[in-house]
């Protein structure tokens, strides 16, 4: 989803801590997640969740657990003084890890499939062609790449990064708590 939230926090943190390339790789992961939810939404994930509510519950609990664990790691890491994590030793690992983090953060958001399927239900005609659906999904992908690339570029500027580093521990603590709170909320929220 293209909403200031977990995706935005991830790109922000990576841009400032790992640099522009890591944030851009996470951006591709996020956009891939957006496209996956877009395809699922177009081809009827909403109907599937209505027919099998346990699948939605499974997504909510699994996604909530993933977000909680990521938040706990971020929060716990904010108390460490060593900046060893700031510059990864293996660029290939960083490439894969940043993409995977972006993809999993987007896919773990249980609001994303509901948002996308609702968007398609409201905006597309009932019998939309596959071409129109794929065009919409492609547009969602391009918008996600453009937005998060802009965020990654601006927030990886040296003076912005320096300001972040001065406040890093507090930002990591706040972000970690936000991830954990959203994870708990997603996992425990009643389904509609």
Contacting residues for 181 by C-beta, under 8 A, at least 6 apart? 71
Question: Domain coordinates of the chain in residue numbers?
Answer: 11-79+92-188
The CB density around residue 153, as the number of other CB atoms within 10 Å, is 14
* pLDDT at 51 (0 to 100): 79
CA distance 128 to 35: 17
What is the full per-residue pLDDT of the chain (192 aa) written as tens digits? 333 477 888 898 888 888 899 999 999 999 999 999 999 888 877 677 777 888 777 877 887 887 788 889 889 988 887 554 444 444 554 668 999 999 998 998 877 777 776 677 666 776 778 898 899 999 999 999 999 999 999 988 888 878 877 887 888 888 889 888 888 887 887 765
Could you give the CA distance from residue 71 to residue 92 in angstroms, rounded to a whole number?
24
Q: Is 3 helix (H, G, I), strand (E, B) or coil?
A: coil
C-alpha to C-alpha distance for 149 and 166, rounded to whole angstroms: 24
In this prediction, residue 1 carries a pLDDT of 37
Q: Could you give the CA distance from residue 58 to residue 44 in angstroms, rounded to a whole number?
A: 17
CB 63 within 8 A of CB 186: yes
């Amino acid at each position: 989803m293209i909403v200031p939230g977990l995706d935005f926090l991830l790109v922000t943190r990576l841009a400032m801590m790992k640099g522009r390339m890591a944030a851009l790789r996470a951006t591709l992961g996020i956009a891939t997640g957006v496209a996956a939810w877009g395809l699922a939404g177009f081809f009827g994930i909403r109907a599937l969740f209505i027919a099998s509510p346990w699948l939605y519950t499974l997504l909510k609990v699994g996604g909530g657990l993933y977000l909680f664990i990521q938040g706990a790691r971020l929060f716990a890491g904010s108390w460490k003084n060593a900046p060893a994590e700031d510059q990864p030793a293996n660029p290939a690992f960083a490439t894969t890890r940043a993409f995977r983090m972006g993809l999993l953060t987007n896919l773990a958001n249980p609001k994303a499939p509901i948002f996308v399927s609702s968007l398609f239900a409201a905006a597309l005609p009932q019998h939309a062609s596959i071409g129109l659906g794929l065009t919409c999904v492609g547009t969602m992908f391009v918008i996600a790449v453009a937005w998060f690339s802009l965020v990654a570029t601006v927030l990886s500027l040296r003076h912005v990064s320096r300001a972040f580093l001065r406040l890093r521990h507090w930002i990591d603590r706040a972000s970690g708590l936000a991830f954990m709170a959203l994870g708990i909320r997603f996992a425990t929220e009643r389904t509609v």
